[in-house]
Chain A
Amino acid sequence: MNFYFYLDKKTPIHRLDPRTKLFLLISSFIVATIQHHPIFALIVAMPIFAHGLLSGSLSNIRRIIGLLVAIGILAVLLWSIQAKGVTPLFWKFQVEPLLYGISAGIKIDSMIVAGIIFLSTTKNEEVAIGLVKLGLPYSFSFAFCTALRLAPTIIGTARMVAQAQKSRGLDLQGGGLLSRMKKYIPLLVPIFLTTLRYTNQLSMALESKGFRAMEKRTFLLEARFKARDYWITLGLLLVLALAIFIRIKGYGEIEGLLL
C-alpha cells in the first residue's frame, strides 16, 4: 500500500498558493474545534467535505473511511460515558453527553479529512516553499517536509520487520500488558536502527547535492499569491471571525453538559 497521499490533479484547489492551502487547513481546524453542538459541527463538516469534492480527494478519503468510522464511534462512546448531563435517555446514557460525543466525532473526523485534503492537494516541496515564503528558514522547512516524507518509509520498514519476526514465530497477540510490551522490542530495535541508518545516508546524499551551499536557493516550483488566493484568504478570515463571534455569543452550547 502507498502511504503517500498527494494526487497529481489539476483542480482549482491544487492551483492555489501553498500558503492559501495551509491557511485553509488551519481555518478548518479552528472552526471545527470551537463548535460544541452537533448541528454546528455538521455545518462545519459540510464545506470541508465540499472542499474534498472540489479538490478531487474523495478517493483518499475513501481509503481511510474505516478509520473515520471507528474514530466516530469511539468518540460517541467515550464522551457518552465520560461526560455528565441532566436529561436521562435510557439506562446510564444521557442526552447531553451523547450530543457532545456525536459532535466530537464529527469534529475529529472533519479535522482528519481536512488534513488528508491538504496532503492530497499539496506536494511536499510546495509545503516547503509555503513555509519559506512565510519567513521560516529553508533548513527548517525542508526538515519539516522530509519528516512528512519519512513516515511512509518508516511504515514500510515496520511492515518488513514485522514479517521477518513473525517468520521466526513472534506472536504479538496474547499475554499481559508487560509481556506484550516486551514483544515489541524485536520490532522496535530494527525499525529504529534502519531509520537511523536511512537518515544518516540521506544527510550525506543531501550534502553531496549542495544542500545549503548557497546563502539563498531557488525553487523550480513557483508560489505566487494570485487574485483567487486573496479572495479565499479574505473569505476564510470572515468565516473565522463569524465562527469566533458565534462561539463568544454562546450559540450552539449544549446546555446542562458537564465535562
Chain B
Amino acid sequence: MAKALQVRNLSFQYKGTDKKVLNSFNFDVEKGEFLAIMGPSGAGKTTFISTLNGLIPHLIDGKLEGEVIVDGWNTKEHETRDFATKVGMVFQDFETQLFSTNVTLEVAFGPENLALSPGEILRRVRESLRSVGLEGFEEREPATLSGGEKQRLAIASVLAMESNLLCLDEPTSELDPMGKDDIFAIARRLKESKSITMVMVEHNIEEVLGADRIILIKGGNIIAMAPPETILREVDLLRETGIRPIPITELFVRCRSKYLPLTLREGLESFRKEGWGIDEARYLSLIERDSLRASRYGRVLIEVRGLEYAYEGGLAALKGIDLQIREGEFVAIVGQNGSGKTTLIKHFNGLLIPTKGEVRIEGVDVRQSDILQLAGKIGFVFQNPDHQIFAERVIDEVSFGPRNFGFPEEGIAERVDRALAAVDLLDLTEADPFSLTKAERQRLAVASVLALAPKVIVLDEPTTGMDYQESIKMMKLVQELNKRGHTIVMVTHTMWVVSHYAHRVIVMKDGKMIRDGKTRQILSDLDGLREASLKPQQMVEFGRALGDFAFLSLEECRKCLVP
C-alpha cells in the first residue's frame, strides 16, 4: 500500500540565513493516520508543514535537501497549485484565508479552480459545510462570523478540495475555548472517517490525545516520535520543548508515583491506589493567604458605573457594567469572544467613550481627561505587538511613549533602561524590533508601555501565540510588575494563566458581568463557568472530586498532599 506521506532526509534553510531550520527529517505517514507535530516557537513546525504541498520550495525561497513525497508525487516536481487536490492546507491565521463575500463562494473557490461543474461544486460545498457544522450559514458574509466559525469555514474551504492529506497549522491558537473545542471535534470526526490523513501542528496537549503519533521537534531536529500515551508521560521532555504537560500527569511525576495517569479519572484511581490524602489545615492556609492578599489592596483606581456601550449601528456591546478595581489588584477578565471583554478595557484609557454611565480613573471621569493624561495612568498592551512596532531600534520603540510626553532626554534614557530591564530585553537595546521573536516583540510592547510608568497595566491576550515557556516568562514578568505595585487587568482565554496568576476573575457574557470574585471561588464555580462556556481547570476538578478543595495549580495540590 502506498504511503500517504514520505519524508526523506528533509532539510531546509531559508534564503539569506546561515542555519538550517529543518535537519534531516525522516519518517513515513500511513494513510488514515493522525500525526501531531509539537514543539516550542521557532522549532520549525510551520516550516515543515509548508514543505508538504510545495509552498517550500516553490513560493518560499531557500535551500531544500531531501525529498517530500505525497501520495507518490515529489513536491519538487509539481507546483503548489497542482498539489491542491492532494494536500489541503489550513493556516493559523484564518483572516488571511477568507476573501470571498459569502460562505458558499468561499468554499466554492477551490473547486472552481479545479474547473468542476457547478453541480459538483454545490455538492462539495454542501458536504464540506456539513462536516464543519456550518449548514445554514451559506449566505453569510465571512466577516460577520465569529473566530471559531471563520476557522471552521477555512477548514471547509479546504475539505471541498477532497484531498486525502489535511494539514493544519495551529488551527486553534487564536480561538476561544469553545471555538477550540469545535475544531478538535471536527478533527476527531475526520479521523474516525479514516479516509483522511491528518498532520496537525498544535500547542495544546489535551487536544492531541486523540492523535496516533506525536512528533516533537526542537531547533529543527526531531527529538521524539511516539504515540501520545508515551510522550505525554515524558513531563520533563515536554517542558523542555515548550509544551505544557497535562497537570494531573505532572503531579504524579513530581510526587514520584509509579502510576502516571493521563486523565482525571485515571488520576483519581491512582490517588486511591497510592493511598494519599489531603491536609485540610494546609488547604485552609491557602485560603487565608488569598484573604490576606485581598486585605492589602489600596484605594480605588478604576471605577465603572452603569457602563453601557453601543457600536455604530446600535449593536449593544456592554449592557450595564458596575465594578471597582483597587490599587495592587491582579484582575483577569474572561469570557467567549464577543462577550465584551475588550470593549470594556478599552474604556479604561479613553479609547472608547461610554454610551451611557461613567468610567472614572482615580476619581476623574474619562470624558474629562485627554488621551495623554490617561496614557500616563493606564498602560495598554495590545494583543498583537505588530500593530504598534515601527521603529528601527528597540530603544527607539520604547522611547516613543516618553517622547510623546515630552520628558527630558536623560529622564527618558533612565525610563527606557528600567523598562527594558524589567522585560529582560536589555541585551537587545540596539536590535531591530522586527528581528525579534513574537514573544520578544510582545515583551517589547510591554516595555514600551512600562516606560510611561503607569499605575495600571491593561493587557489584551498577553500570551496568544506563545509556547508554554514563553507564556510563563511573560506571566512571571506581569506578576513581578504586580508585586512592585502595578495594578494588573488582563483579558485572556488561557485559563491556566488565569488560575496560576490572577487574584480576581471577572466573567463576561453577552455584554454583562455574570461573575466577579476571587480566582479560587470563580474557578470552582462550575455552573458559572459552564454558563460562560468556559472549561474548568483539571486541578480544580481533581480537588473537587477529592473533597471541597479548589487547587489553582498542581504546586498547591502538592503542598496539601500527604503521602
Contacts and interface: CB of A to CB of B under 8 A. Distances in A.
B143 A220 contact: no
A190 B372 contact: no
B532 interface: no
B380 interface: yes
Interface stretch (A20-28, A40-48, A98-106, A167-175): A167-175
Contacts of A157: 387
B114 A213 contact: yes
Contact of A171 (B144, B372, B400, B449): B372
A2 interface: yes
Interface string B64-93: 000000000000000111111101110101
Nearest to A150: B99
A124 interface: yes
Contacts of A197: 386
Contact of A210 (B85, B375, B452): B85
Contacts of A153: 95
Nearest to B451: A168
B2 interface: no
Nearest to A210: B84
Given A2-B143, A168-B400, A190-B387, A208 B84 contact: yes
Nearest to B449: A168
A1 B315 CA distance: 10
A178 interface: no
Contacts of A211: 81, 113
A220 B104 contact: yes
B437 interface: no
Nearest to A163: B351
Contact of B113 (A6, A125, A198, A212): A212
B53 A208 contact: yes
Contact of A209 (B110, B379, B384, B390): B110
Contacts of B144: 2
A168 B448 contact: yes
B404 interface: yes
A133 interface: no
A204 B59 contact: yes
A188 B391 CA distance: 11
A212 B346 CA distance: 44
B115 A216 contact: yes
B351 A220 contact: no
B382 interface: yes
A8 B139 CA distance: 8
A218 interface: yes
A201 B91 CA distance: 9
B452 A168 contact: yes
Contacts of B405: 169
Contact of A201 (B80, B96, B376): B96
B388 A161 contact: yes
B122 interface: yes
B91 A123 contact: no
Interface in A150-192: 152-153, 157, 160-161, 163-171, 185-186, 188-190
A193 interface: yes
The listed residue with most B CB atoms (<10 A of its CB), out of A167, A171, A194, A213, is: A167
Interface string B380-398: 1010101111100000000
A220 B93 contact: no
A259 B164 CA distance: 68
A217 interface: yes
Given A209-B109, A218-B117, A220-B112, A167 B59 contact: no
B536 interface: no
The listed residue with most A CB atoms (<10 A of its CB), out of B59, B79, B380, B387, is: B387
A157 to B, nearest CB: 7
A153 B118 CA distance: 30
A4 B389 contact: no
A212 B311 CA distance: 40
B158 interface: yes
A125 B346 CA distance: 36
B313 A1 contact: yes
B400 A186 contact: yes
Nearest to A8: B139
B387 A164 contact: yes
B141 interface: yes
Given A2-B143, A163-B351, A169-B405, A218 B81 contact: no
Contacts of B55: 204, 207-208
B401 interface: yes
Nearest to B81: A213
A193 B386 contact: yes
B495 to A, nearest CB: 25
B118 A222 contact: yes
A167 B312 contact: no
A149 interface: yes
Contact of B112 (A186, A188, A218): A218
A169 B372 contact: yes
Given A6-B101, A202-B99, A218-B118, A209 B59 contact: no
B96 A205 contact: yes
A149 B105 CA distance: 14
Contacts of B121: 218, 220
The listed residue with most A CB atoms (<10 A of its CB), out of B53, B91, B113, is: B113
Contacts of B387: 157, 160-161, 164, 190, 194
B101 to A, nearest CB: 5
A82 interface: no
A203 interface: yes
Contacts of B112: 217-220
A217 B114 CA distance: 6
B13 interface: no
A146 interface: yes
Given A157-B387, A201-B97, 14 more contacts: A124-B100, A166-B351, A168-B401, A169-B372, A171-B370, A186-B400, A193-B386, A198-B95, A203-B59, A205-B97, A207-B81, A209-B161, A217-B115, A220-B125
10 contacts: A1-B311, A6-B101, A8-B141, A124-B101, A171-B370, A207-B59, A208-B55, A208-B89, A213-B113, A214-B114
Interface of A: 1-2, 4, 6, 8, 123-125, 146, 149, 152-153, 157, 160-161, 163-171, 185-186, 188-190, 193-194, 197-198, 201-205, 207-214, 216-222
Ordered nearest first, which 8 A-B pairs have the shortest CB separation? A210-B84, A169-B404, A189-B390, A201-B96, A164-B388, A167-B380, A210-B113, A208-B89
